Amino acid sequence: MKEIGLQFQESRENIGISIDEVASDLKVEKQDLENLEAGNIKSFANVVSLKYLIRDYSKYLGLNAEDILDEYNEYLFDQTSKISLDDIKAAKKRLAREAEIQKEDKVRSPYTNSKKNESRIVFVIVLSILLVMIATVAIYFVFKQKPVKDDHTISYIRWE
């Protein structure tokens, strides 16, 4: 990483640009550029933002950004490939235990229902509506009035 930083510093000085001017043009902190040129990778919060800074700084100085990013990616691979498999397995187990503890400590309340409970509630509501509709139809047919037959004959009045 120090090689990349030195390459940036030498290019900037050869062009005759101050680090303050670069910080202003790229809209980054001067301290970030100083740390990058010094090869101090630990001062950056995450590797992605550092990668974007390297890309932008390379383009700004007229350097081949792809080559420098490849060099940076190789540096990252060299650093991260030194983690043993046992350490990775132990970290996975630790994370699994922490997740299990968080599940147990989770507060249950009506306001934090899971999706599963919400779908059950919807099912019960729909089923209740259907039962009420069936009962209504059944009651209607049971108590439906039969038409009353009128055996009275209509008498016609004759006017003479």
CATH number, domain at 10? Answer: 1.10.260.40
Looking at the structure, do residues 73 and 123 belong to the same domain, yes or no? no
Which domain does 60 fall in, by range?
2-80
72 and 7 inside one domain = yes
Q: Look at residue 65 in the predicted model and tell me its pLDDT.
A: 87
Give the pLDDT confidence score for residue 125 in this predicted structure: 94
107 in any annotated domain: no
Residue 93, CB half-sphere, CA atoms under 13 Å: how many?
Answer: 6
The span from the first CA to the last CA of the chain, in angstroms, equals 128
pLDDT digits (tens, 9 = 90+) for 100-135: 877 765 555 555 555 566 778 889 999 999 999 999
pLDDT of 152: 57
Distance CA 54, CA 33 (A): 9
Question: In this structure, is residue 109 part of a structural domain?
Answer: no
Return all residues near 25 (Cβ < 8 A) that are at least 6 apart: 60
Rounded to whole angstroms, the Cα distance separating 63 from 119 reads: 57
Query: Does a structural domain hold residue 31?
Result: yes
pLDDT at 31 exceeding the cut of 80: yes
| Domain shared by 56 and 126, yes or no | no
Residue 119 and residue 76 share a domain: no
- 150 domain-assigned: no
Residues 70 and 136 in one domain: no
| Distance separating alpha carbons of residues 22 and 30, to the nearest angstrom | 8
Total domain count for the chain?
Answer: 2
Please tell me whether residues 7 and 60 are part of one structural domain. yes
10 with 67, same domain?
yes
Domain C-terminal end among 53, 80, 107:
80
Same domain flag for 73 and 134: no
Q: Reduced to 3 states, what is the DSSP secondary structure of residue 142?
A: helix
